[in-house]
Structure 1
Amino acid sequence: MQTRNAGSSWPNPHSFYIPVRVAALDQASINRDNPIQPFTSFLAVITGGSGVIELNGEHIRLSGGHILCSDSSADNRLPHGHKLQGVWIEYAVISGNIRTFSPLNHGQPVRSCPPHLSTLAVQLLNGWNQPEQHTPFALQALFTELLSELYDNSAEYAERPTQWIDRVLHHIESHYNEDLTREQAAGLAGITPEHFSRSFRKFTGQTFNEYITLMRIRKAQQRILTGAPNLSTLALEVGYSEGTYLSRKFKQVVGISPSAFHRKSKSVVSLNFNHTASLHALEVVPRLGVYSAWMESMQPVPSRKKLLDEGIGSEGLYERLASARPDVIISYSLPDKSKQLLSVAPVIEIPFMQMDWREQFRLIAEVTGRQPQAEAWLSHYDWHCYQANQLLDRQIGDRGTAMVLELGAETAYCFSSSYGRGTQILYHDLGFRPPLGLVAEGLLDKGYLEIAFHNIARYSADHIFITSSRKAAEALEPLQSFLHPVQQQPINGSVGGRIYFLNQSGMFYGFDPLSSKAQLKVLVQALTS
C-alpha cells in the first residue's frame, strides 16, 4: 500500500469557519465607510425591533425572528440610528471554497430564525464580550454549534415545498367538492406522487386525503352555520355522494353529527374587535376575542379572554385558539391565512368593505343563532336614528355635505361609509352627502383618501368632523391656518361652514353596532350644540 510523505499536502475538501467579530446590532455600525473585514461572511440574527439593511444595493427589511446570511462578496450597509436588535457575527472561511457555506442561504438571504438559534447567538455574544469567563475553546464550540444548527435548519427549510404548496392548496380550495387524487395534485406540483405525499404531510401535518376530508367538513360546518340545505343536498355540495356518508365523516372530524352541531350553542372566537362588539351586542361573550381600547374602557376584559390584534401569524396565536377549542372562528377575509386555522375550527370570513356593519351584524347573529336579538337591537337603533333626524330637521334642515377627518402626523384621512369613522351614520342614517370633490377622486371606490394638510381647504364641505380633540388638531402646525378662521365664525369659502372636534378617535375607529350607537349620539350632540 502506497503512502504519502509527511511533507505531502492532502487535498482538503472541507472549509473551516472562525468568528472574527461578534457585536450587538444596536451597537454595530456597518457601512461603506467602515467595511467588514476582507474575506469574511456574516450572519445577522434579529431578536427584536425592525429596520432596513442594504445588501448589494437592495434594501431588505428585517424584524424580530429573521436571520440574514451573506458571503464575503456582499456589499453591506447598516444605517446609523437603526432600530434592529440582535447579534451581528462576522466569520472567516479558511481552506476549501469560500462559498461552501452558501447552502445556508438557499437563494434566500432572509428567512425565519427558530428561537433556539437566537439563544445560541446571544450566548455567543455574551461570551465574546466576557472571554475571561469561558474556556479557550468555548466560543469556538458555541459558534460551531450555531452553524451546525443553522445548517440543519437551512436544509429543512430548503425541503419545504414553497414553490408549489400554495398552488396546490389553492387548487384544493377551489375544487374540494370534486374528485381529487394524489396523482393529480402531484402532477400540478410537478413532482412524483411519493415525494408529494412526504412533502405535503410535512408541510400541512396531514395526509392529502385527510386534508381533503377536513376541508370538506369545514365547508359543511360553514354552510350549517349560515343556513344549510338538507343533508343530502349538503353532501353533494361538499363532494360526497350521499348524506349518510357525510354524516359519518362529519362525526369523525367534529365528534358529533351535523344535526347535533346545528342545534348546539356555539362557542366563538373573534379575531377582530368589530366582530367582538357585534357579539357583545347580541349578549354573546366570545371564548376569545380582540377588543378595542374603547371597548375595554367601558368594561375591562380578563386577559384569559383577550387576544391581541396581531394577525394570524403572531406567535402563540394558533396554540391559544387550539386550546380554546371553539366551534367557530369569525374574522374578516384572510386570503390563504384561514387554511392555517383549518384544523382548529371553521372560519366564517366576512368580506371587508363589501358588507356594511348591519349586514355583518346580521350574519354574526345567524352564525350564533341570535337573529331575533339582532333584529330587536337594530329596531331600537333605528328608533334613535328617527329621533335624531326629527331633531336635525328642526335645527339645520337640509343636511348638505359632510366629511370626517382622522389626523395623522403629516396627513389627514377621510372615509367613505364602507370604512366607517362615523360616515356610515352621516351618509346612511342622517342624510348627509360626501363632498363632490372627494367623490370625484374615488372616495367611494377606495374607501378612504389621504389628504395633505395644505390641501384640506380645497374640499368644499358644510360640516367637517375631526375625530381628535381641538387641542390635538391645533398642535399640528400645518393645520393652524386652516382651523383658526373656521373656529372664529362660520365662513363662506372653499372649506364650508363648521368644524366639530369630537375627541373620540377610539370610539370612531369602530364599525359595529356598539360603536355606531355611541357615534350617533356624539354626532347629533355636535350638530345640535
Structure 2
Amino acid sequence: MYVLPAGRLPAALYAIADVDSPLALPQQPLELSSGDCSSVLIVLGGRGRLEHSGVSTILETGMTAEFGPDARFQLTCTHDEELRLCHIYYQTLLVPGRAEPVVQGHPTRMRISTGAESLQALARELLALKLRRQLYEPLGGTRVLYELLHQLADCHRRADEAMQADAAQRVRAYLERHYASRVDKHRLAVVAGRSRKALPGLFRQAFGQSINEYTNRLRIRRAQELLLMPGRRLSEIAQEVGYKDEFYLSKKFKQATGLAPSVFTRQAKSFASLDHAYTLDLVSLGIAPKVAMADAWLARSYPQLLQQDGCRAIDWSWPRSARYDLLQQAAPDAILYAEQEGDDLDRLRRIAPVVQIPWQGVGWREHFRIVSELTGRLPQAEAWLARFDERAEEAREQLKRWPSAKATIGILNIRTGLRILYHSGYMGADLLYHTLGMLPPDAANHGQDDGEWREVSLPELTLLDPTYLIVAIEASASGRQLARRTMEDPLWSALSSVKQGRAYPVDMNKWYGYGPAAIEAQLGELMELLRLDADMDGSGHKKTSRPFPF
C-alpha cells in the first residue's frame, strides 16, 4: 500500500482492488455492484441515468458517483447514446482513532460530484495500467488511486464550502427583508437548510458577525436612512426598524455609530449620486458628490465640481461590481439612488445609507427641493428656482414678440430602432410645453395621456408638420444610422421645419436631463436658437439648418 502524506486525505490506508470499463447501451439497462469494496464510477462519455436506493440521478460526461461496499445500482442510456464508464474498486483500512474515509462504508450512501477533466485522465490511466498488467505494481494503481481520491476530496470541500456560503447568503437575504421583525432562529434554520445548532457558526464564518449583530446593523442602517429624510419622528423610526421605542433606538444607534441620532441628523454629510437626475440636483446646489453618475455633457459643464480630486464621475457603462468597489473606496455618508428594491439596493446598503426619492408623480422642482432639504441647502434651492423663474418669465415675454409665439414645436428623439416624439417630462418637453407654454404639434399626445412620449413614423411626422423641430440623436452607431436614413428620406425634406431651416440638432445628453442644471441649459440654448431665427426673419436672409452630427 502507498500512504499519502498527512493532510491530503482523511487518515486511512487505501489500496486499489480493480478497475473496469463498463458500457451501458441503449435499451439495455446495466446492473453494477461495488461488491465488498468502496467504489468510484466516472462517466467518460455519453449521458444516462443512475438508479440507486430509489434515487434517480442524471449522469453526464465528467460526473462522478461514489459508493460504499455492497452498493447496487442500475445505469440506463438516454436517447440513442451509449454511456462509457470507468468503475474503480478500492479497499479502505481505517487507522484507529483517526478520521473517517472519504466515503463511509454503507451500501445506501452515494455522493455525486461534477469532476474536472483530470479525474477522467486518472481513470484512463488506471485502465491503461490494468491493460499493461501494472495495476498492482508498487506505486502503480494505488498511487493513481490516492491522487484521484485527493482530487475528489477537494471537489467535496469546494462543494461543501459553496453550499455553506449559499446557505449563509440565503439567511442574510432573509434578514435584509425581515430585519424589523423578531428574529426567529427556527425560521432562519429552515431558510438555510441547516440545524439551529449549526446556523450561528455558519453565519459568523461567512460574515464575521453574529446574526443578532447583523440584524442590529440592518436596523441602524435603515434608521440612518429615515433620519436623513426631513420630518420623521424618532419614535416612528424606532417602530419601523424593529425597536420597542426611541430610547432603545438611541442607545443602539450610539453604540453602532458613536453618535446620538440628533447629532447624526445635524452633521454635514458627503454624498454619492447613482442617478443622473440626482447629480443635476447636487451640482445646481454647488455640491461635488464623491461619486457621480454623469454623462459627458454634465462632466464638461461642471468641471469645477465633477473633475476635481475627491469626485469620481461614472456612467451607466460601469459594471455594478466596479461601482460597488468605487463606492467602498469613496465611503460617502449617504448614497442617492432611484426608488426600487432588489439585490443592488441590498448591496449598496452594506456600504452606506441609501436615500430613495420617489419619481412617480414628482416633478423636477419637487425633486430638487427634496434633495436640497436632504443636503441642508433648501434656501439655496429656493433662490435658484426664483432666478430660473425670472429667466423663464423673460423668455415667455420674448416669445410673444417673435414669430415662434403661435408656432408649433416638436421634440424628436432618434435612437436605436426608434423615432420618439416627446410631449411631457424629459427631452425638454417640461420646459417647452409646461414652463414656456409653447405649442406641441397637433395630436402629439394623442392616445398617450399617461406617457411622456410616443413612437412616430416619418409619414406621421409629416402630417404633424411642426414649425420648429428639436432633434436629439442618440450617440451610438445604430442611432446615427437611423438618423441618416431618416434624413435621406424625401419625406424628411418635405417637413416645413426642414425646408425653413428650423430643424435644430441638439445634444441628447443635455436635453434628456430632467433636473435644474439641464433644464437651465436647455432654456439658454432654445432661446438662442429662436433669437437667431427671429433675427434671420427680420433680415430677409435665407435660413440654413445646423449641420447634423453623422
TM-score (norm 2): 0.62
Give how far 1:238 is off. Answer: 3.3
Give how far 1:282 is off. Answer: 0.8
Counterpart mapping for 1:257-336 below 5 A: 257-298=260-301, 299=303, 301-302=307-308, 305-310=311-316, 314-336=320-342
Partners of 1:148 and 1:458 in 2: how far apart? 74
Report what 1:84 is aligned to. none
User: Secondary structure of 1:379's match?
Assistant: helix
Give how far 1:446 is off. Answer: 4.2
Give how far 1:411 is off. Answer: 2.3
Report what 1:95 is aligned to. 86
Give how far 1:414 is off. Answer: 3.4
Counterpart mapping for 1:194-205 below 5 A: 194=197, 197=200
Give how far 1:155 is off. Answer: 4.6
Give how far 1:294 is off. Answer: 0.7
Partners of 1:393 and 1:71 in 2: how far apart? 77
Give how far 1:189 is off. Answer: 7.1
Report what 2:213 is aligned to. 210
CA displacement 1:88-107 (0-9 Å, x = unmatched): xxxx985149xx997549xx
Report what 2:494 is aligned to. 485
Q: 1:14 aligns with which of 40, 50, 56?
A: 40
8 Å CA contact 1:467–1:505 kept in 2: the answer is yes
User: Secondary structure of 1:355's match?
Assistant: coil
Structure 1 residues 466 and 357, CA, compared in 2 at 3 Å: closer, same or farther?
A: same
Q: 1:502 aligns with which of 495, 502, 505?
A: 505
Give how far 1:313 is off. Answer: 6.1
8 Å CA contact 1:232–1:242 kept in 2: the answer is yes
CA displacement 1:466-501 (0-9 Å, x = unmatched): 0249x96896124422321226766xxxxxx98522
8 Å CA contact 1:14–1:96 kept in 2: the answer is yes
Partners of 2:420 and 2:377 in 1: how far apart? 35
Looking at CA atoms only, which structure, 1 or 2, has the larger radius of gyration? 2
Aligned length: 414
Report what 2:471 is aligned to. 466
Amino acid in structure 1 at the alignment position of 2:524: K
User: Secondary structure of 2:527's match?
Assistant: helix
Report what 1:428 is aligned to. 434
Give how far 1:148 is off. Answer: 8.5
Amino acid in structure 2 at the alignment position of 1:351: P
CA displacement 1:131-152 (0-9 Å, x = unmatched): xxxxxxxxxxxx9999987875
CA displacement 1:62-109 (0-9 Å, x = unmatched): xxxxxxxx9459xxxxxxxxxxxxxxxxxx985149xx997549xxxx
CA displacement 1:238-295 (0-9 Å, x = unmatched): 3323333211211122221111111211111111232123212111111222222112
8 Å CA contact 1:474–1:483 kept in 2: the answer is no
RMSD: 4.5
CA displacement 1:38-70 (0-9 Å, x = unmatched): 7499xxxxxxxxxxxxxxxxxxxxxxxxxxxx9
User: Secondary structure of 2:362's match?
Assistant: coil
Report what 1:181 is aligned to. 184
User: Secondary structure of 2:495's match?
Assistant: helix
Counterpart mapping for 1:140-155 below 5 A: 153-155=158-160
Partners of 2:150 and 2:394 in 1: how far apart? 72
Report what 1:527 is aligned to. 530
Give how far 1:321 is off. Answer: 1.9
For structure 1, which segment, 180-189 or 270-279, has the greater mean C-alpha deviation from structure 2 after superposition? 180-189
Give how far 1:433 is off. Answer: 5.2
Partners of 1:6 and 1:150 in 2: how far apart? 23
Partners of 1:487 and 1:395 in 2: how far apart? 18
CA displacement 1:161-182 (0-9 Å, x = unmatched): 4996597356416xx2x44433
Counterpart mapping for 1:2-401 below 5 A: 13-14=39-40, 39=46, 71-72=60-61, 95-96=86-87, 103-104=113-114, 153-159=158-164, 160-161=166-167, 168-169=174-175, 171-172=177-178, 176=180, 178-186=181-189, 192-194=195-197, 197=200, 206-298=209-301, 299=303, 301-302=307-308, 305-310=311-316, 314-336=320-342, 337-396=344-403
8 Å CA contact 2:339–2:357 kept in 1: the answer is yes
Structure 1 residues 161 and 389, CA, compared in 2 at 3 Å: closer, same or farther?
A: farther
TM-score (norm 1): 0.65
Partners of 2:315 and 2:159 in 1: how far apart? 31
Partners of 1:163 and 1:39 in 2: how far apart? 35
Amino acid in structure 2 at the alignment position of 1:480: E
Partners of 1:487 and 1:368 in 2: how far apart? 47
8 Å CA contact 1:402–1:432 kept in 2: the answer is yes
Partners of 1:154 and 1:385 in 2: how far apart? 65
Structure 1 residues 453 and 71, CA, compared in 2 at 3 Å: closer, same or farther?
A: farther
Give how far 1:215 is off. Answer: 2.8
Q: Which residues of structure 1 form unaligned runs of 5+?
A: 19-37, 42-69, 74-91, 106-116, 118-142, 491-496
Give how far 1:512 is off. Answer: 1.6
Residue identity over aligned pairs, in percent, reads: 26
Partners of 1:461 and 1:488 in 2: how far apart? 7
User: Secondary structure of 1:14's match?
Assistant: strand
Structure 1 residues 332 and 196, CA, compared in 2 at 3 Å: closer, same or farther?
A: same
Structure 1 residues 513 and 14, CA, compared in 2 at 3 Å: closer, same or farther?
A: same
Structure 1 residues 282 and 163, CA, compared in 2 at 3 Å: closer, same or farther?
A: closer
Give how far 1:330 is off. Answer: 0.8
